[in-house]
């Protein structure tokens, strides 16, 4: 009960104190191996049964909790506010009823060690890496030492970006805002195909490689539009909701293959796109005005969380949907 109280207090502070540049978040661990012995009573049976239903079938290590707490204190987390983030190996999705085989024990060393905060020797694929959020993700992952592959349709822009990244020494979606009645079937299909079919199919294609790596992480970029009803976005919202559910399913289905799956859900990000002066722009400004950190996010405030979720330091975070929204989704102000 007291944990529930703390969670609600943190949401209230996130809204009340954002104006004073104070961010507030809550970390909610599942069972952590702190050395306490589980006695052989009814409680321990329940406990073992619950661990058996956790996709990553082991206890967390203390430093798998401290890594997230640390990340949330970094400037890199500057737009994360009002969130409750479970570090639970995927236990919380209530539909997670798969009875997996035993998850390979892959427990990181205790204490801070730079390997847990490095992606050296790892390979990443970032779709849509030439602009906006994807571009920032490529930069962040490469900066952490990963070899990054990326894709986009505009070849000239890919070549231009590659040149830029080589100079830096790195080894080298779609949104339509219409009222629901105005969406054509083509609009809807195109959005489904880009935002849902593509990432789903890509995961299927990548599965053998991810499994072979024995330590993989999938991060879907959804949107808070997939969690909350926002004006003029019903079709887009459906695609973003679909991606959130796919991620939760993969988190449970593929944990046995050492593949973690999480979703990052940004609120409005300043990617340079102009907001047109129509009814949508008015709605948009009103919503930004209701955001505790009352500004747009920067792309690198999204890419930092995506990258953190790829790090060994995030090894017990699975099946989570983490909003990067300045506190928008928790605010009733
Ligand atoms: N910006 C926001 O405020 C915001 C908020 C919440 C969620 N999101 C989500 O974050 C993700 C990135 O958004 P963004 O605003 O950063 O987008 P963006 O600036 O428009 O960049 C999109 C990237 O994806 C590529 N791309 C687009 N359609 C593609 C296709 N059909 N096939 C292959 N590549 C394609 C683009 O390159 P080409 O055009 O050359 O193909 C570009 O590299 C999206 O999933 C979006 O829904 C964004």
Q: Where are the domains of the chain?
A: 2-100+111-330
Residue 58 CB neighbours (<10 A): 17
Distance 272 CA to ligand 1 centre (A): 12
- Pocket lining: 133 vs ligand 1, CB cutoff 6 Å: yes
Q: How far apart are CA 88 and CA 85, in angstroms?
A: 9
Residue nearest to atom 31 of ligand 1 (CA): 194
Which pLDDT belongs to residue 142? 95
| Mean pLDDT, rounded, for 116-143 | 95
Beta bridge partners of 151: 127
Could you read off the pLDDT of 136-194 as tens digits, one per residue?
999 999 999 999 999 999 999 999 999 999 888 887 544 567 889 999 999 999 999 99
- Pocket lining: 147 vs ligand 1, CB cutoff 6 Å: no
Which pLDDT belongs to residue 120? 94
The answer to whether residue 128 scores a pLDDT higher than 80 is yes
Place of tokens 């999480």: 262
The answer to whether residue 249 scores a pLDDT higher than 80 is yes
Distance 274 CA to ligand 1 centre (A): 14
Please answer whether residues 140 and 307 qualify as being in contact, where contact means their C-beta atoms are separated by less than 8 angstroms: yes
The answer to whether residue 129 scores a pLDDT higher than 60 is yes
The predicted model scores a pTM of: 0.91
The answer to whether residue 99 scores a pLDDT higher than 50 is no
Decide if domain 2-100+111-330 falls under CATH 3.40.50.700.
no
| Mean pLDDT, rounded, for 72-79 | 96
| Mean pLDDT, rounded, for 212-236 | 95
Which pLDDT belongs to residue 282? 84
Burial of 299 (0-12, 13-18, 19+ CB in 10 A): buried
Alpha helices in 62-197 (DSSP H): 62-73, 132-143, 155-167, 185-192
Mutating to test ligand 1, I would choose from 173, 192, 296 the residue with most ligand atoms within 8 A of its C-beta, which is 173
Please answer whether residues 216 and 259 qualify as being in contact, where contact means their C-beta atoms are separated by less than 8 angstroms: yes
- Pocket lining: 296 vs ligand 1, CB cutoff 6 Å: no
Distance 174 CA to ligand 1 centre (A): 6
Mean residue pLDDT across the chain: 89
Is 200 annotated as catalytic?
A: no
- Pocket lining: 221 vs ligand 1, CB cutoff 6 Å: yes
pLDDT confidence tier of residue 109, bands split at 50, 70 and 90: very low
Please answer whether residues 67 and 314 qualify as being in contact, where contact means their C-beta atoms are separated by less than 8 angstroms: yes
- Percent of the chain with pLDDT strictly greater than 70: 89
- Percent of the chain with pLDDT strictly greater than 90: 75
Which pLDDT belongs to residue 275? 64
Query: Which atom of ligand 1 lies closest to the CA of 269?
Result: 3
For 207: left if phi > 0, alpha if psi spans -120 to 50, otherwise beta; the answer is alpha
The answer to whether residue 279 scores a pLDDT higher than 80 is no
Q: How far apart are CA 120 and CA 143, in angstroms?
A: 10
Mapped onto helix, strand or coil, the DSSP state of residue 261 is strand
- Pocket lining: 305 vs ligand 1, CB cutoff 6 Å: no
Beta bridge partners of 21: none
Which pLDDT belongs to residue 96? 45
Residue nearest to atom 14 of ligand 1 (CA): 132
Residue 289 phi/psi, 5° resolution? -60, -25
The answer to whether residue 94 scores a pLDDT higher than 60 is no
- From 79, 135, 207, 236, active-site residue: 236
Which pLDDT belongs to residue 41? 66
| Of 74 and 110, more confident | 74
Distance 13 CA to ligand 1 centre (A): 32
């Amino acid at each position: 009960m007291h944990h529930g109280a703390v969670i609600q207090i943190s949401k209230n502070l996130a809204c009340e104190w954002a104006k004073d540049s104070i961010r507030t978040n809550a970390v909610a661990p599942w069972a952590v191996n702190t050395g306490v012995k589980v006695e052989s009573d009814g409680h321990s049976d329940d406990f073992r049964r619950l661990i058996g239903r956790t996709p990553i079938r082991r206890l967390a290590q203390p430093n798998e909790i401290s890594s997230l707490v640390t990340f949330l204190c970094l400037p890199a987390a500057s737009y994360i506010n009002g969130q409750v983030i479970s570090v639970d190996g995927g236990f919380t999705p209530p539909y997670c009823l798969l009875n997996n085989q035993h998850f390979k024990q892959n427990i990181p060393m205790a204490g801070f060690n730079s390997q847990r905060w490095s992606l050296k020797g790892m390979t990443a694929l970032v779709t849509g890496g030439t602009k906006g959020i994807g571009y920032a993700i490529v930069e962040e992952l490469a900066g952490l030492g990963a070899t990054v592959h990326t894709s986009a349709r505009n070849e000239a822009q890919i070549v231009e970006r590659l040149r830029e990244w080589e100079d830096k020494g790195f080894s080298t979606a779609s949104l339509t805002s219409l009222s629901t009645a105005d969406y054509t079937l083509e609009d809807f299909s195109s959005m489904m195909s880009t935002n849902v079919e593509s990432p789903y199919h890509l995961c299927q294609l990548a599965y053998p490689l991810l499994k072979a790596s024995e330590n993989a992480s999938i991060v879907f970029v959804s949107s808070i539009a997939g969690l909350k009803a926002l004006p003029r976005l019903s079709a887009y919202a459906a695609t973003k909701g679909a991606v959130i559910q796919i991620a939760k399913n993969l988190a449970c289905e593929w944990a046995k293959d050492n593949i973690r799956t999480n979703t990052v859900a940004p609120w409005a990000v300043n990617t340079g796109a102009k907001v047109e002066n129509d009814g949508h722009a008015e709605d948009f400004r009103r919503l930004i005005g209701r955001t505790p950190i009352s500004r747009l996010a920067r792309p690198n405030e999204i890419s930092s969380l995506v990258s953190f979720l790829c790090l060994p330091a995030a090894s017990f975070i699975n099946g989570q949907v983490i909003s990067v929204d300045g506190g928008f989704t928790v605010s009733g102000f």
